[in-house]
Chain A
Amino acid sequence: MSTPWIRQTVLFILLVFLQVWLFNKIHIGGFATPLVYIYFIIKLPVEMNRNMVLLIAALIGLTIDLFTFTLGLNMLATVIAGFSRTYLLKLFAPKNVYESFSPSLATFGKALFLRYAFLIILLHQIVLFVTESFSFFEPLQLVLRITGSYLLTLFLVYAFEKIQLGKIKS
C-alpha cells in the first residue's frame, strides 16, 4: 500500500514541477509545447479503480490549471484522457498478468505500450488545444499546435520510459 503511493506522489509533484517551470516555457517554432504531465495518467496502475483514476486525472489537470491561470482547461483534457484510459487498457493491456502493475515498456512490451501511449496523448492534446482555440479559431494554426506538441510530448514520454527501462536492466 505505502511504497507505490509514495512513488506516485513523488511522480505527481515532479511532473507538475517540470511542466510548470520547464516544459511550459518551451515553445518551439511558436507552436510546439510538450505536455508531459499526461505521463502520470499513463503510468497509473492498471488495476486501479476507475473512479479513482478519474479523480486523480481531474486533480492533476486542475493543479496545472492553478499554476497557469487557465481554470478548467487542462482539467477537461485530463479527465477525458483518464476516462478513455480504461478502454484503451482493455484493448492493449496484456491479459496474462494478474497483479497490479504500471503500464511501461517492460510490462507491456514496446508495440503495445507505444500504441496505448500514442492514443492517450493524442486524445489529451486534441481536447486541450481545441478547447483552448475557442478564443481564436484558426484551423491551420490548431493542427500545427496539436501536431507539434504531440510529437514533442511523445518523444519525451518515450525518453522517460527508455531511461526507466535502462535502470531495470542494469
Chain B
Amino acid sequence: MRNLIQFLLKNTHWLFFFLFVFLSITLIVNNNRFQRSKYLAIAQEVNGNLYTLSSNIEAYMDLKNKNADLLNRIAELENTVYGYERQLELQKDTSAHSLIYTFTPAKVVYNRVSGQENYITLNKGSNDSVEVDMGVISSTGIVGIIIAVSPHFSLVIPVLNAQFHLSCKVKNNDYFGSLVWDGKDPQYAYLQELPRHVNFEINDTVITSSYSAIFPEGLPVGKVIDSRKQKNDDYTSLKIALFTNFSTLTEVLIIRNIYKDEQLNLQREALVIRNIDKVE
C-alpha cells in the first residue's frame, strides 16, 4: 500500500496528464452547436472588441477593391430594382405582406478560413436586434447563419464549416440539394444529394431554395464548375465556385425574416401531424 502511494506521489504528472486529456476530449466531444453557443456569447464579447481593432486596419487597406465590388453590386441591384418596379406595375398586387425580409449592414471583426471549423464574428448583436438563426450575405453571395449573439457582437457559422448545411438549388430548376464544404479550399463548396436526372450545365448559377426560413429564395451562392456521381449512383454532387470571397470578407448584410417564427411554427406543426400519422 505504501509503495502504491509512493508510486502515485512520484508520478502525479501521469494523473495530471490523463486529467487534462480527458478534459480536452470532453470539450471537443461536447462541442456541438447548442452548448457552444452558450459559452460563445461570453467569449465573443471579449474577442469581438479585440478583433474589431485588427479588422479596422485590414478593412482600411482593402478599401479600393471593396469600392469596386460595391459599385458593381449597386449597378446590379439597380437593374433588378428596375425589373421589379416594372413587374410591380404590371401586377399591382395589393397584398400587405409583400415585404418580409429586412437587411442590417454589419462589419466582420473576426474571420478565419484556415481551419476546418471556421467562425466569423460580426459587430452587430442583440442590441441591434440581431437574433440567432438569421442569415448573413455579402455583396456577392451568401455567407452563413448566425448561431450566437451577445449584446454587441454575433457569431456566424459560415459555409466554410463542417457543420454548415443549407438547402440550395440550380437556377431554373426546382430540384434542391444540400450545400456543404469539404474542408479544403475556401473558394469551393459542394451541392450534394441532387437527384441524378437533374439537368444542369457548367457555369449555371446556384441559388438558395425556398425551403429555409433563414434565406429568401434566389440569393446567389456560386456557379457550377464540375459534377460527379455520389457513392450510391442515385445522386449527383456538384462542385461550386462560391461567389463570396471569404478570405477578404469585411462588409456583410444580416437578413431578418419577419415571418420566420410563423413559418417555423407551421413547419413544426406539420412535423407533429406527420408523426401522429405514423403512430396511428
| Chain A interface residues toward B at CB < 8 A | 21, 24-27, 30-31, 33, 50-51, 53-55, 57-58, 61, 65-73, 75-76, 79-80, 83, 86, 131-133, 135-136, 138, 141
Contacts and interface: CB of A to CB of B under 8 A. Distances in A.
Interface string B8-48: 00001100110011011111110100001001100100010
A67 B20 CA distance: 19
B182 interface: yes
Given A72-B25, A132-B115, A58 B20 contact: yes
Contact of B117 (A24, A51, A86, A135): A135
B20 A79 contact: yes
Contacts, number: 100
A131 B28 contact: yes
Interface string B216-251: 000000000000000000000000000000010000
A70 B21 contact: no
Q: Is the interface of B mostly helix, strand, loop or mixed?
A: helix
Given A136-B182, A141-B183, A71 B27 contact: yes
A138 B185 CA distance: 13
What's the dominant secondary structure at chain A's contact region? helix
Closest CB pairs A-B (n = 7): A72-B27, A135-B162, A50-B13, A72-B28, A76-B24, A136-B183, A75-B24
A71 B183 contact: no
Interface string B148-173: 00000001000000110000000000
26 contacts: A21-B54, A27-B186, A30-B184, A30-B185, A33-B114, A50-B13, A54-B13, A57-B20, A58-B23, A58-B24, A69-B119, A70-B115, A71-B39, A72-B23, A72-B26, A76-B28, A79-B20, A79-B21, A79-B24, A86-B13, A133-B183, A135-B116, A135-B162, A136-B116, A138-B183, A138-B184
B21 to A, nearest CB: 6
A25 B112 contact: yes
B27 A69 contact: no
B143 interface: no
B130 interface: no
Interface in B69-122: 112-117, 119
A22 to B, nearest CB: 9
B9 to A, nearest CB: 11
A85 to B, nearest CB: 11
Given A26-B114, A132-B116, 12 more contacts: A33-B114, A61-B24, A66-B43, A69-B40, A70-B31, A71-B39, A72-B26, A73-B28, A75-B23, A83-B13, A132-B117, A136-B183
